[in-house]
């Protein structure tokens, strides 16, 4: 996981509509960058829906919300449509941003070891520096936890 105070690595990925999105496009705004394992899985769906529910609170503070996984553009489009997700979803099948943000790690599930995305969230400030970072976030609490931080609670 990248440390607080680190300059956020720039990246260019495709969104759910196939448009090119670069992190530096959001210079001058705060950005919530959350990495999740897979579209349409229980935890990832709960996390995305929590961000969708809280989205008006983020936009009221001029904060951009971006979710990233290695799923395809088509998968992101279906996921966003199915759950009415109003924020940016980026596809990273080549693990460009996933590896740059150090969230591609060894995971153990039922005794089996494999590589995968560890659910991690970063908050990047207007100057492009990481000001909040948390690994292994809880899907149901992640959005509220960030909002509390943004409000200084």
User: What is the distance between the alpha carbons of residues 105 and 85, in angstroms, rounded to a whole number?
Assistant: 27
Do the Cβ atoms of 134 and 46 come closer than 8 Å?
no
Q: 127 φ, ψ to 5°?
A: -95, 5
Q: How far is C-alpha 21 from the chain's CA centre?
A: 14
Q: Is 3 helix (H, G, I), strand (E, B) or coil?
A: coil
Given 13, 21, 44, 89, the catalytic residue: 44
User: What is the distance between the alpha carbons of residues 128 and 136, in angstroms, rounded to a whole number?
Assistant: 23
What angle (nearest 5°) sits at the alpha carbon of residue 7, between those of residues 2 and 34? 55
129 is catalytic: no
What is the DSSP pairing of strand 88-91 with strand 63-69?
Answer: parallel
Catalytic residues: 44
């Amino acid at each position: 996981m990248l440390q607080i105070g680190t300059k956020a690595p720039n990246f260019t990925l495709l969104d759910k509509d196939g448009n090119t999105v670069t992190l530096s496009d959001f210079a001058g705004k705060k950005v919530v960058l959350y990495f999740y394992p897979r579209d349409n899985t229980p935890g990832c769906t709960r996390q995305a829906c929590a961000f969708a529910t809280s989205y008006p609170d983020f936009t009221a503070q001029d904060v951009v919300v971006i979710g990233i996984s290695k799923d395809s553009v088509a998968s992101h489009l279906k996921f966003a449509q199915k759950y009415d997700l109003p924020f940016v979803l980026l596809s990273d099948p080549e693990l460009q941003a996933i590896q740059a943000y150090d969230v591609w790690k060894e995971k153990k599930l039922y005794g089996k070891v494999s590589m995968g995305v560890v659910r991690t969230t970063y908050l990047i400030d207007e100057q492009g520096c990481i000001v909040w970072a948390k690994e292994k976030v809880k899907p149901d609490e992640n959005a509220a936890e960030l909002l509390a931080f943004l409000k200084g609670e």
